[in-house]
Every structure is written in C-alpha cells, then in structure tokens.
Amino acid sequence: MTKNKFTIALAGNANVGKSVIFNQLTGLHQHIGNWPGKTIEKAEGTLHFKGYTIDIIDLPGIYSLSTFSIEELISREYIAVERPDLVINIVDASVLERNLFFSLQLLELETPMIVALNQMDMAKKKGIIFDHEKLQKLLGIPVIPTVAISGIGIYDLLEKSVEVIEGREKIKPVKAKYGKEIEERIEKIVRMVEKTQFRYPARWVAIKLLEGDEEVEKEILKINPKIVSAAEKLAIEIEEIHGHSCSTVITSERYEVASKIAKETQEITPQIKPPMRERIHILTTNRILGYPIMAISLLSIFYSIFTFGDYTSGLLGDSLFGLKPIFEGIFGIGVVGKLVWGGVMEGIIGGVTVALPYIIPFYFILYFLEDSGYLSRIAFLMDNLMHKIGLHGKAFIPVMLGFGCNVPGCLGCRIMETTRERLLAAFVVTLVPCAATTAIILGLVGAFVGVQWALALYFINLLIIFILGRIAFKTLPGEPTALIMEMSDYRVPHMKTVLKQTWFRLWEFIKMAFPLIIVGSLVIKLADVMNLLKPIADILSPVTVTWLGLPSITGIALVFGVLRKELTLIMLATLLEVEPMNLAQVMTPMHMIVFTLVAMLYIPCIATIAALVKEFGWKKAWLITVFEIGFAILVGGIAFRLLMLAY
Amino acid sequence: MELRLTELRDGESGIINSIKVSRGGGQGKRRRARRGWGFRKRLEDMGLTPGTRVRVVKSAPFHGPLEVYVRGSRLAIGRGMAERIFVEVKR
C-alpha cells in the first residue's frame, strides 16, 4: 500500500473512556464540528505516526446500531458508506458482555476492526481477570488491553492499527451465528439483496430487514419492494416459531453470543467488601439523603460559578472599557469612532464578559459531572419531576444550567438522545429565567413594587414553563420520552480530557456566536448614530404603548435587551433620562410588572439564539425566537389588561 | 408467578418474560404495530431480553425510575417503561 493517509474511527458504548483515548491520540490537533446536515457533534483530530498522517474520527457513544437515535444512524452510515480504513472498538473491560454486544454489531458491518480493551484497571479492581489471547481468537481480530487515563497501551494500539491497515496483520473477524431457523432465512434474503448493489453488506441488510429496521426498509423499498415483503413474511415465520417478535429474537441471540464469549474469556472473583465507588453510589442515590446531597453539591457549584463569574466579568469589563480612550484616540468620537467602539467593541466586550467567566465554568462542570458519573445519578433522582414537563431525568442538567445562563443550557441539551428530546429540552431552557433575567425581576419589580410581586413573577414563569413544556411535548411528533440509561461506576474524571472538551467546545461557540453578537450590536449602534431610535420606538408603539401600555421608549430597551440582558435596567434608566434608583418616578408599578414580564419571557439574548442556531439550525432557532417574542407580547398585554381591571 | 418489574421488592430478582408495548390490537397482520417499537428495541439493546435475569436494586422516591442490575451493569429505567416489563418471580 502506497497511501500514507488513513482514517480511523473510534466506536464504543458511552462511558468507556472513548473521549480519553481520542484525546490521548490527537492531543491538541482537534476540530469539533457537526455531522453534515445534522446537529450531532463530530470530533475529528489528526496525528502523525511512523510517517503516516492519520485522521481520527470520534463516533458518538452508543449501545447499538439500530435507529433509536440519530447517533446510531450516523455511526452506521459513516462506517458503511465512508468506509474508514479501520475502526477501533473501545470496550469497557469491566462491563464486557454489554460492550461485546455492540462489537458484534460492528463486525456485522464487515469493517476492518481492532478492539481496545479499556479500563483494565477498573476491571482488575472489580476482580476480573482476562484471557485476552482467547478473546482475540474468539473475535478473530486483535485485542489490545489499555488503561486510557494513564496512557497504557495507547502506543500498542496505534502500532497494531497500522499493522492491520498495512495488511501485515491479517484479520479474520467472526460473524455472530444465529439459530438455524434464522440463519436459513437470512441466507434467503441475502441472495435477493446481493443482486441490488446496496451500499451496506448484504448479510447486515438481511438481518436488519428481519429486525424490522425502518431506515433500511425505506431504502430497500426504493430498490426492490419484493425483498421487503419477502423479509416481512420470513420474520413472521420466525415470530411464530419463537413466540417473540423477530427483532427480540435476534437481539437475544446476539446477546447470547456476547455472553458466551464474555464467560469464556473472563474470570470474576466476587468482592467481599463494597468498594468506595459503590458506597458513594448508594449514598448519592439514597431515597432520603440523595436529595440534600444533590442540592448541596449543585448549590455550591452555582455559588462558586457566580462568585467567580461576577468577579471575573467585572474585572474583564472594567479593563476592556478602559480601552475606550485609546479607541477614541484612534478612531475619533465621530460616527466612525462611535460605530467602532459602541458597535464592534462593545459587542465583543459583551461576548467576552459572558463567554469567559460564565460559559467556561458551566461547560467545565457539565463535562466534569458527566465524566465522573454523577450526572446520571442526578438524572435518576430527578426523572419523576422532569416527566411533569414532558422531559426525563437527563434534561434536569441543561434546565438547571439554564438558571445560570441559557447558553450552556441550550448547548448542554446534546446529552439527550433523540432530536425530539433535545428540541423540547432546549425550548424549556430558553424559557428558564437566567441570572440576568433574575436581576431584572429583582432589580425592577423586587426593588420598586415589592418582593412578593417579584416572587409571583418567578412563580408565573415556572408555571408557564410547565404549561408550554407539556403543550410542546404533546404537539411535537415522535415517540414519547422515557429514561433508559446506564449508571456506570463512579470514577475520577480525566482532567486533561475534561479541560480539552471544555476548550474546544468553547472555541466552537465563539466562532458561531461572536459574529452574530458583533453584527447585532453594530446594527443597533448604527440606528443610534443615524438617530433612528426615536422613529423605531414610534414604529413599535402600537405594541409597546397600545397593547402593552408602556412608555414608548421602553421598546428600545427591550430591543437592546436582546443584546445585553444584564444591561437592560441601566439602559432603561438612560433612555428614560433618570438615575437607575429613581426609575419609580417615571414608571408606574404596572409598567414595571408588564415590562419585566415581557423581558422575562421573550427570547433571552442573542447569544442564546446563536446557541440554538448551532444546535438546531436557523429554521428551528427562528421558530423558537419568533414564538417566544410573540408569546411574551401576548402575555404582557393580557397582564396589562388584568392589572387595569384590578386597579 | 408473573409480575411487572415495578412490582418487585427491592433486591428481588426475576427472569424477563416479555416487554409489552403495543397497546391493544395484538401483533397485526403486517408488522406495522410500531407504537413503542423504538423503546422496546432500546430496552432489548441494553440487555433486557427475554430469558435474562434482572435484579431490582431500588426505586427512586415519588414513583421515580428503577435502578436495576442486568448483565453485569447498572441501569436506570423510567417507571413507565419498567411497568411494561413482565418478569417471572419465585415467591
């Protein structure tokens, strides 16, 4: 082979240390993007080894290759269509059976593959001893024992990969054999499929047709509908033999093969004393103690993030605003100067003071909790509550992050499995009052109207989340949500991986959001310079004055608020030409309540819109934005009329 | 006897008989009774296939999800799904 550029894909279950291996292999040469046309993260990296340039693709962590989630679809399409030169299947040695179930499916895709038997240290602690030579023989492919977090076995893994790709090491992968009655029928379908030149291996297609895989059925229907109906008939025959649906029978038999291999290659000595990680698990999921432990951990996380964020944000803001004279010196204080400073620079400052002090720690915490395993315990405890708003336990984390800042909340929705769940969770997140919104509620209504009114608004917000969440849950098409999740053993997160994950995702976000923030800020500054603010306020007055009963100029504050929500109050005061503490002179309590209600419910800020665009594309982002603005105005108007009646 | 997974006591284990997802109507002529198909597949993909031993460790309070132990690993299963898993238990 003369080629010196290869592609290797990493595949495996979630929580097997796949991202650690990815980081060990690629170091800082990473690129995080999205799969074409999909909103699933795609991590790529390059490395150089023995004169070769090797591209590493980190496939999503999944348990099967069916059509349950987009991740599973993407993975199988990638392996079958893009045909990487090699797949490294990362297997958690401490949960061998479940992992081998996935390995067998990968092998059915007839792709060149080797296995990294990872977390050997964990397996050893659990009293598991391996015969990895035998595993190698039974699977017909090389198996390399690794401990990714300490870098053990990574070099061997690469070396073996190159040997297999170069063809120096021949592999003879096994095929999982099903029962005779199934094999006969697979054979019949294979003969039909072979003639179609379909891009997937014929045996794989045959198995998937018997399992009733919708995607494969759809594709084969286009080529030859006879195959699908023949497969359906054969599947019914199998169902009649076994008394279970055909897909159940095939899945069971595949698991039997995995179970047999696992039993033959590992020896487990049960442990007498429950280890530390087990005791922590019992404590953190305890019926009574679990909740206070969770509350304390989350509150202290929030508290430290806000203390840190507030301090750093202020520091960054002060020092960046200190640059103003320098800019004025260069660009003058004319129109150009105003646009450069007030448009571009203030936009950047706005982005920096939100992104760095808040988004970094939030991201870090998210990955830390996920890697350590605590995230799944929180999901376990909160599942029931989240079901009330049509979501399940896993959604608690993004929603909780949303109370701090909606941006990491929206980005955190990717821990949900299906697109539907992601969209639902993100929608709920954008309705959650973030720290800046809370500042408006407390600073305006809380300070001037009364704390009980501020609390009432907060309560109304939560009620609206509950109602809209349920409506969205009922109206969005797709299967209902349920929690089915592995709670893998607690472990100490690999810090370097967590930091890299944080960094590369932050960078992705900056690339996406900053242009939007700067353009938005420039447009508004331009309107200001051209004396368009008053006319704009007049144009908005049917909404602001007639429908919402607010002073006309507040429309501008609401528009500005999309850019810098935390500045809404200061802006309001400036526009009304009073000191912030004297707002009560120009706004009635009713004005304040209606204004706050609208500011609370409409789309949080431009950075959140950017996050939505990044995760769901322009169309859905606009849909949510337009809906929430409309809804906020509707609710504001109704509140105005109700308050009028009451007074 | 056959029980729903949710009816098991903490620490009790049983062998899975079946997962019932299609509400009424039986199998249907063509296999288009797809309601809940994805979630049954998901449960089976996670190792909860008929004939498998599953142990209920505990359930989260306020009718929360179940913590179960199956095929050497620990899973959390939402109560709604767990109710549809029927297991054979010796009592």
Contact between A483 and B40 using a beta-carbon 8 Å cutoff: no
**Which residue from B minimizes the CA distance to A392?**
B78
Residue B30 confidence class, pLDDT cut points 50, 70, 90: very low
- Please give the structure tokens belonging to residue A187: 């054979």
Contact between B46 and A376 using a beta-carbon 8 Å cutoff: no
**Other beta carbons less than 10 A from residue A304's beta carbon:** 12
Residue A236 confidence class, pLDDT cut points 50, 70, 90: very high
Q: Which of B52, B75, B41 is nearest to A64 (CA)?
A: B41
Residue B22 confidence class, pLDDT cut points 50, 70, 90: low
Nearest-CA distance from B53 to chain A in Å?
13
Chain B residues with CB under 8 Å of A241 CB are none
Nearest-CA distance from A421 to chain B in Å?
14
Instruction: List chain A domain ranges.
Output: 5-166, 180-268, 290-434+451-487+494-514, 519-646
| pLDDT, tens digit (0-9, with 9 covering 90-100), for A441-499 | 988 898 899 999 999 999 999 999 999 988 988 888 776 668 889 999 998 999 999 99
Chain A residues with CB under 8 Å of B27 CB are 239, 245
Chain B residue set in contact with A, beta carbons under 8 Å: 18-19, 27, 30-31, 34, 36-47, 49-52, 58, 60-65, 67, 71-81
Contact between B46 and A484 using a beta-carbon 8 Å cutoff: yes
Average pLDDT over residues A503-513: 83
Residue B35 confidence class, pLDDT cut points 50, 70, 90: low
**pTM, full prediction:** 0.87
Dihedral sign, Cα of residue A316, residue A318, residue A321, residue A323: negative
Chain B residues with CB under 8 Å of A420 CB are none
CATH architecture for segment(s) A180-268: Orthogonal Bundle (1.10)
pLDDT of res. A264: 95
Residue A12 pLDDT > 90:
yes
Contact between A479 and B36 using a beta-carbon 8 Å cutoff: yes
Contact between B41 and A251 using a beta-carbon 8 Å cutoff: yes
Question: A555-573: buried (b, 16+ CB within 10 Å) or exposed (e) per residue?
Answer: bbbbbbbbbbbbbbbebbb
Residue partners of A245: CB distance under 8 A and separation at least 6: A212, A239, B27, B31, B40
What range defines the domain where residue B66 resides? 2-88
pLDDT of res. A480: 67
Task: Give the residue carrying structure tokens 């019992």.
Answer: A282
Do A180-268 and A5-166 fall under one CATH topology? Answer: no
What is d(CA B55, CA B66) in angstroms, rounded to the nearest whole number? 10
Cross-chain CB nearest to B31 (options A95, A96, A235): A235
Cross-chain CB nearest to A393 (options B18, B62, B65): B65
Chain A residues with CB under 8 Å of B43 CB are 484
Dihedral sign, Cα of residue A153, residue A154, residue A155, residue A159: positive
Nearest-CA distance from A418 to chain B in Å?
11
Task: Give the residue carrying structure tokens 């009718």.
Answer: B63
pLDDT of res. A462: 92
Chain A residues with CB under 8 Å of B56 CB are none
Q: Where are the beta strands (DSSP E) in A417-490?
A: 484-486
Residue A208 pLDDT > 80:
yes
Residue A511 pLDDT > 90:
no
Contact between A384 and B31 using a beta-carbon 8 Å cutoff: no
Average pLDDT over chain A reads 89
Which candidate in A251, A260, A421 is best for mutational testing of the B interface (most B CBs within 10 A)? A251
Contact between B71 and A98 using a beta-carbon 8 Å cutoff: yes
Helix (H), strand (E) at residue A309: helix A290-321
Cross-chain CB nearest to B72 (options A97, A212, A246): A97
Task: Give the residue carrying structure tokens 């608020």.
Answer: A561
| pLDDT, tens digit (0-9, with 9 covering 90-100), for A283-296 | 999 999 999 999 99
| pLDDT, tens digit (0-9, with 9 covering 90-100), for A17-52 | 999 999 999 988 888 877 776 777 889 999 999 999
Contact between A251 and B49 using a beta-carbon 8 Å cutoff: yes
Least confident among A74-83, A510-519, B40-49: A510-519
- Please give the structure tokens belonging to residue A95: 């949960």
Residue A67 confidence class, pLDDT cut points 50, 70, 90: confident
Average pLDDT over residues A355-375: 85
Nearest-CA distance from A380 to chain B in Å?
6
Counting residues of chain A whose pLDDT is more than 90, the rounded percentage is 50
Chain B residues with CB under 8 Å of A68 CB are 38, 41-42, 45
- Please give the structure tokens belonging to residue A510: 């900056």
**Other beta carbons less than 10 A from residue A646's beta carbon:** 7
Question: A380-413: buried (b, 16+ CB within 10 Å) or exposed (e) per residue?
Answer: bbbbbebbebbbbbbbbbbbbbbbbbbbbbbbbb
Chain A residues with CB under 8 Å of B60 CB are 285, 287, 290, 380-381, 383-384
**Which residue from A minimizes the CA distance to B28?**
A236
Instruction: List beta partners, residue B18.
Output: B86
Cross-chain CB nearest to B63 (options A67, A381, A384): A384
Task: Give the residue carrying structure tokens 């407390």.
Answer: A442
Cross-chain CB nearest to B50 (options A236, A248, A376): A248
Give the A:B interface size as CB pairs under 8 Å.
133
pLDDT of res. A338: 82
| pLDDT, tens digit (0-9, with 9 covering 90-100), for A121-178 | 989 988 999 998 999 999 999 999 999 999 999 999 999 999 999 999 888 998 889 9
Instruction: List beta partners, residue A49.
Output: A52
Return the higher-pLDDT residue of A204 and A332.
A204
**Which residue from B minimizes the CA distance to A479?**
B36
Task: Evaluate whether A11 touches A25 at the Cβ level (below 8 Å).
Answer: no
Return the higher-pLDDT residue of A8 and A616.
A8
Task: Evaluate whether A306 touches A362 at the Cβ level (below 8 Å).
Answer: no
Question: A112-148: buried (b, 16+ CB within 10 Å) or exposed (e) per residue?
Answer: bbbbbbbbbbbbeebebebebeebbebbebbbbbbbb
Task: Evaluate whether A93 touches A213 at the Cβ level (below 8 Å).
Answer: no
Average pLDDT over residues A601-624: 88
Chain B residues with CB under 8 Å of A284 CB are none
pLDDT of res. A2: 56
Residue A563 pLDDT > 80:
no
Residue B31 pLDDT > 60:
no
* Continuous H helices in A172-242: 180-194, 202-211, 214-223, 225-242
Nearest-CA distance from B12 to chain A in Å?
17
- Please give the structure tokens belonging to residue A18: 């796949």
CATH code for the domain of B18: 2.30.30.90
Return the higher-pLDDT residue of A272 and A601.
A601
Which candidate in B15, B41, B66 is best for mutational testing of the A interface (most A CBs within 10 A)? B41
Average pLDDT over residues A178-199: 92
Q: Which of A80, A60, A58 is nearest to A68 (CA)?
A: A60
pLDDT of res. A297: 93
pLDDT of res. B26: 41
Chain A residues with CB under 8 Å of B31 CB are 212, 232, 235-236, 245-246
Contact between B72 and A379 using a beta-carbon 8 Å cutoff: no
Average pLDDT over residues A339-350: 83
Chain B residues with CB under 8 Å of A236 CB are 31
CATH architecture for segment(s) A5-166: 3-Layer(aba) Sandwich (3.40)
Contact between B72 and A98 using a beta-carbon 8 Å cutoff: yes
Return the HEC string of A468-511: HHHHHHHHCCCCCCCCEEECCCCCCCCHHHHHHHHHHHHHHHHH
Number of domains making up chain B: 1
Counting residues of chain A whose pLDDT is more than 70, the rounded percentage is 98
pLDDT of res. B32: 44
Least confident among A365-369, A418-422, A579-583: A579-583
**Which residue from A minimizes the CA distance to B21?**
A245
Local structure of residue A117 (DSSP, 8 states): E
Contact between B78 and A392 using a beta-carbon 8 Å cutoff: yes
Average pLDDT over residues A244-249: 92
What is d(CA A257, CA A261) in angstroms, rounded to the nearest whole number? 6
SS3 call for A287: coil
Residue partners of A89: CB distance under 8 A and separation at least 6: A11, A12, A102, A103, A106, A113, A114, A115, A116
Average pLDDT over residues A320-327: 87
What is d(CA A619, CA B87) in angstroms, rounded to the nearest whole number? 46
pLDDT of res. A522: 85
Task: Give the residue carrying structure tokens 């990294």.
Answer: A116
